[in-house]
Structure 1
Amino acid sequence: MERIASFSVDHRVLEPGVYVSRRDSDAATGCTTTTFDLRMTAPNREPVMDTAAVHAIEHLGATFLRNDAEWSGRVIYFGPMGCRTGFYLVAFGELESTDVADLVRRMFAFIRDFEGEIPGAKPEECGNYHDNDLVQAKWWARRYMADTLEVLDEAHTHYPALLG
């Protein structure tokens, strides 16, 4: 089998950033989608996010994206990586990291500043409503904003190295 794109990135040197993970074109519709790697921690060198924080970020991020006036119709998916070092954002279009940088900044500012009940975190709305931690989610959002998104440069929008 062929190695999938995300396993081709050398995680030993990967840093937090906003990376284009892959692009797919559907021959039947002519539609292109872009998957972004919203990497929040340095893999294998920093602690991973707790599942309760990841879950809260997922709920808040998805709510923000589905309500964004400009992007709601273009976003296909937002969800966590299994390794808990970041999130995937999938959108319609042949896009670059710079195309979504402002959207990602606004989303994480929303999470960082959120007050109140986490949307969709009631037993009738969520399959694991207990496992949400708003305090941790806000901490991770603050960190990602300050350390990565507010100083995002070209080195953190293009993967540093691919495995052979």
Structure 2
Amino acid sequence: MEKIASFTVDHRYIVPGMYISRSDGDITTFDLRARVPNSGDLISNAEIHSMEHMFATYIRNSAIGPRVIYFGPMGCQTGYYLLVRGIDGEPPDPEEVLTATKATLEMIVHHQGDVFGKSEIECGNYRNLDIDKAKAGAAYFLNVLENTNVTFRYPGPTADNTDISTGGAAS
């Protein structure tokens, strides 16, 4: 059986940052990695859930909002996936998505009020939402993005021993 794209990346090399996980025509999947995989430092359920509500709402109301296909957490609790459609059949500009991501994180950090969708009517686990955890998670990841040279490329070799940075075999 063919591996899915995320299983071809050697997770031993991934550090917090923003990566292009895959491109499918005009849709790009961005990996917003907030934690080092397999380190034991996981995003708590309350934080990941609260960030999902806040980020999804703000990004869908941003300049790229009409092109956002999906935003949601990774099951491994180390980050999020953001799927964005490009324009005129072309993939989205990664720098534009990075700018929108940073602006979205800023809005979460400075948000006044409670978590969007925090009611029994709007959410299946609304008691789990916590604005302070969303703000802390947003501040943490914003700091990562502002202090990292974001190249959108995963570091290290792929799981099948192909060097992502050069496209050839790992040494």
Q: Same fold (TM over 0.5)?
A: yes
Secondary structure at 2:65 match in 1: coil
What TM-score comes out, normalization by structure 2 length? 0.85
Residue-by-residue CA offset, 1:3-44 (whole Å, 9 max, x unaligned): 11001111111001110001113xxxxxx2000000001111
The reply on whether 1:112 has 2:106 as its aligned counterpart is no
The reply on whether 1:80 has 2:77 as its aligned counterpart is no
- The structure-2 alpha-carbon separation of the partners of 1:16 and 1:46, relative to structure 1 and needing over 3 Å to count, comes to farther
CA contact (8 A) 2:17 2:150 kept: no
In structure 1, what is the Cα distance between the partners aligned to 2:31 and 2:2? 20
Please report how far the alpha carbon of residue 152 of structure 1 lies from its aligned counterpart in structure 2 after TM superposition: 3.0
The amino acid across from 2:82 in the alignment is L
CA contact (8 A) 2:19 2:154 kept: yes
In structure 2, what is the Cα distance between the partners aligned to 1:2 and 1:87? 23
Give 4+ residue runs of structure 1 displaced > 3 Å after superposition: none
The amino acid across from 1:34 in the alignment is T
Secondary structure at 2:132 match in 1: helix
The reply on whether 1:139 has 2:132 as its aligned counterpart is no
CA contact (8 A) 2:59 2:101 kept: no
Instruction: Pick from 99, 102, 109 the counterpart of residue 99 of structure 2.
Output: 102
The amino acid across from 2:5 in the alignment is A
CA contact (8 A) 2:47 2:129 kept: yes
Secondary structure at 1:34 match in 2: strand
The reply on whether 1:34 has 2:28 as its aligned counterpart is yes
Aligned ranges 1:16-95 → 2 under 5 Å: 16-25=16-25, 32-68=26-62, 70-93=63-86, 94-95=91-92
Identical residues among aligned pairs (%): 41
Residue-by-residue CA offset, 1:86-128 (whole Å, 9 max, x unaligned): 1100010213532311111011111122221111110001111
What TM-score comes out, normalization by structure 1 length? 0.89
Query: What is the total number of aligned residue pairs between the two structures?
Result: 155
Larger relative contact order (Cα-Cα within 8 Å, sequence gap ≥ 6): 1
Question: Which runs of 5 or more structure 2 residues have no equivalent in the other structure?
Answer: 161-171
Report what 1:149 is aligned to.
145
